[in-house]
Amino acid sequence: MNRSTGGSELAVPPTVVELLDVLWAGGHSAFVVGGSLRDALLGRTAADWDLATDARPDRVVELLPGAVYENRFGTVAVRRDDEVYEITTFRTDHDYADFRRPHRVEFGDSIELDLARRDFTVNALAWGRTAAAAAAGVRPDLVDPFGGRDDVTSGTLRAVGEATRRFEEDALRMVRAVRLAATLGFGIEPATLEAIAARAELVGHLSGERVAAELGKLLAAPAPSVGFRFMETTGLLVHLFPELAAQRGVAQNKIPGDDLWSHTLRTVNAAAVDRPIVRLAALLHDLGKPSTAADGHFYGHETVGAEMAGALLARLRSPRVVAERVVHLVRNHMFVYESGWSDAAVRRFIGKVGQPALDELLDLRAADNVGSGLPAHHGGLAELRTRIDEQLAAEVALQRADLEIDGADLIAELGLEPGPIIGRLLDDLLERVIADPELNDRPTLLLLAQAALGDDE
């Protein structure tokens, strides 16, 4: 049954209405569907607006010049005003043999049947009208056959129909459930939660790329810990991220009653939501602790953890530059600053970490502090930030590229042959310049290099 009426209060963008108008004028049923309506009902800004229609893909392309038929699932992409809108033909799915994607899709003619194949009631909403209603001048309305609007109002995630069947069709829906619980601040209806726990092992069939996409969205939630706690209680965590599951029960001498897993979640929550690299590093920063635990200490856990983080990110098919930065942050997050550091020591720290990663490393340490029950700037972080800013403002040499000479100069001026000696000389000169920036002068550096060669003889 159609439980809700009165969709006129929904703020559907004019461009979307124009696309609907074209489809209606062409004699077709057409609706806005999915998460955009859920977000509109919540007063949130929708990330995208998807449409569904009984028009077959070739007909959609015919009606909308410039549209592109994208895939075998019936989706046509239309660009309007620098935005891409997806229009998908009503469909029913069959044969989910691999717990991931349908092997066979049949196009349909009913919006109700199309909504019946969706994951959660809050996403099984449509706004629009049938071809007959459009021809009769009936106004567009909200179609809600599964009580999704009531669940939006109560903040409840409920599977459409039989929850176990929905999750067996596509195991990613279980991961999406815990992610939506965190991003929307919703609870998960008991039967749906029980079905996730019963079929949690199916997430092992998911590709790393699909899991990574959901992980990225979860880490963008106001409090990602909500989703990770659901992962923990349902058993998803041990199947998706056994390295994180191993943190449960590992004692921490930090916040009373907190284990290592709780510390990790506090750290993730403390990282700024607009710093995705930092949040990912916060999630992985202590991966090495369970395997290095000994007598209340975790010696070398940052080194072990960096290797584990790299392996986990490789499993998720993370972009190389992302993995490299996160691994770098994990490996270096245990630095200890002291007010007695000389300016040269600050410059060495900058050179070791690398300027592009500095802010992220300091932000990670601040989040780690909060996750440990300490003030964010504990350990002199504010002072260290100030001193780093001062050194960067002075434009001192911090890496080889900042030197006033390079390898070609050493070869040309000192008659050296290309080889490892060039790199060793440049590193030695950089260390001298970090200690005394006044030495970064071309003639001076060449003299120092020449003297270093004499010392080697």
Q: What is the CATH number of the domain that holds 50?
A: 3.30.460.10
Note the pLDDT of residue 72: 63
Residues 91 and 193 in one domain: no
Tell me if 221 is assigned to some domain.
yes
Among residues 240, 257, 284, the one where a domain terminates is: 240
* Residue 380 forms part of a structural domain: no
The b/e string for 29-41 (b: 16+ C-beta within 10 A; e otherwise) is bbbbbbbbbbbbb
C-alpha 457/C-alpha 453 separation (Å) is 7
* pLDDT of amino acid 157: 98
Amino acid at site 72 = R
Examine the domain organization and report whether 104 and 201 are in the same domain: no
- Both 16 and 110 in a single domain? yes
**Residues 133 and 159 placed together within one structural domain of the fold:** no
- How many residues belong to the chain? 457
Residues 49 and 176 in one domain: no
**Residues 6 or more apart whose Cβ sits within 8 Å of residue 113:** 90, 92
- Single-letter amino acid code for the residue at 406: D
Per-residue pLDDT 10s for the chain (457 aa) are 333 334 446 889 999 999 999 999 999 999 999 899 999 999 998 888 999 999 999 999 999 988 888 766 678 999 988 889 999 999 876 555 555 565 567 888 899 999 999 999 999 999 999 999 999 999 999 999 999 999 999 999 999 999 999 999 999 999 999 999 999 999 999 999 999 999 999 999 999 999 999 999 999 999 999 999 999 999 999 999 999 999 999 998 889 999 999 999 999 999 999 999 999 999 999 999 999 999 888 999 999 999 999 999 999 999 999 999 999 999 999 999 999 999 999 999 999 999 999 999 999 999 999 999 999 999 999 999 999 999 999 888 888 999 999 999 999 999 899 999 999 999 999 999 999 999 999 999 999 998 888 765 4
Cα Rg, the chain, nearest whole Å: 29
For the chain, what is the total number of helices (H) and then of strands (E)?
Answer: 24, 11
pLDDT at 99: 52
* Residue 168 confidence (pLDDT): 94
Structure tokens at 385: 């930030």
- CATH number for the domain spanning 227: value is 1.10.110.30
Torsion angle in degrees (nearest 10) through CA of 297, 302, 303, 306: 140
From the CB of residue 330, how many other CB atoms can be counted at a distance below 10 Å?
Answer: 30
Take residue 104 and report the two structure tokens written for it: 């066979």
Residue 171 lies in a domain: yes
The per-residue pLDDT for 253 is: 84
Model pLDDT, residue 5: 36
Asked if residue 170 is part of any domain, the answer here is: yes
Determine if residue 84 is left, alpha or beta; phi over 0 gives left, psi from -120 to 50 gives alpha, anything else beta: beta
Expressed in angstroms, the distance from the first to the final Cα of the chain is 91
User: Looking at the structure, do residues 79 and 161 belong to the same domain, yes or no?
Assistant: no
Claim to verify: residue 143 and residue 226 sit in the same structural domain: no
The Cα 186–Cα 152 span in angstroms is: 9
How far apart CA 236 and CA 430 sit, in angstroms, is 49
Q: What is the pTM of this model?
A: 0.88
Per-residue pLDDT at 194: 98
Residue 456: predicted pLDDT: 56
Domain boundary, last residue among 177, 206, 240: 240
Domain of 174?
A: 155-240
Angstrom distance (rounded) from CA 250 to CA 258: 9
On whether both 187 and 83 belong to a single domain, the answer is no
pLDDT at 158: 98
Domain total in the chain:
3
Q: Which of 209, 240, 271 is at the close of a domain?
A: 240
Residues 23 and 126 in one domain: yes
Q: Are residues 36 and 109 in the same domain?
A: yes
Look at residue 311 and tell me if it is in a domain: no
